[in-house]
Amino acid sequence: MSRFEHSEFVRSALLSDAQQRLTLAHTQAAIVEEVRKTARTICQSDGITFVLRDSDACHYVEEDAIAPLWKGRTFPLESCISGWAMMNGQTAVIEDVFDDPRIPYDAYLPTFVKSMIMTPLGERNVAAMGAYWKEKRSFSDLEIMSVKTYAAIVGRALSEALK
């Protein structure tokens, strides 16, 4: 088995395991905790955030990262990339956070974040998940698909919990 095949096999197993655990998470709090515990490993990232939409704001409710990010802070929906992802229902793949007009430069300057993938969660884009890397980098199709697949699994669980 090649290194790529092994990596793909491991990611597939991690996603399957996460799906089983998230199926058992029946509350928003349980889902957020599961994301905090597992998303960095699945995404192979240096940081992860879970962001809830709160009317016209983005509330960064949880994170697991190599250094503090924005946990507990709230930003206007239209002024942050998590808000962009929720409002547009699209995943943002950003190789250089300082070279993308959707990124609030000042918010990222004190952080380790150089590259990121931010994706909306849930049927109505009621949340977003950000995966962050400390190195400026390009993303493979497999990396992007892994983040989006995990986000879809989390989104389904979140939609069920909010019914």
The model's pTM = 0.91
CA dihedral 115, 121, 126, 130 (to 10 degrees): -20
Q: Which residues contact 2 (CB under 8 A, 6 or more apart)?
A: none
Q: pLDDT at residue 24 above 90? A: no
Per-residue model confidence as pLDDT tens digits over 38-94: 999 999 999 999 999 999 999 999 999 999 999 999 999 999 999 999 999 999 999
CATH number, domain containing residue 51? 3.30.450.40
Give residue 154's domain range.
3-161
Number of domains within the chain: 1
Give the three-class secondary structure for 37. Answer: helix
β-sheet with 115-121: strand ranges across: 74-76, 57-65, 47-54, 127-133, 115-121, 92-94
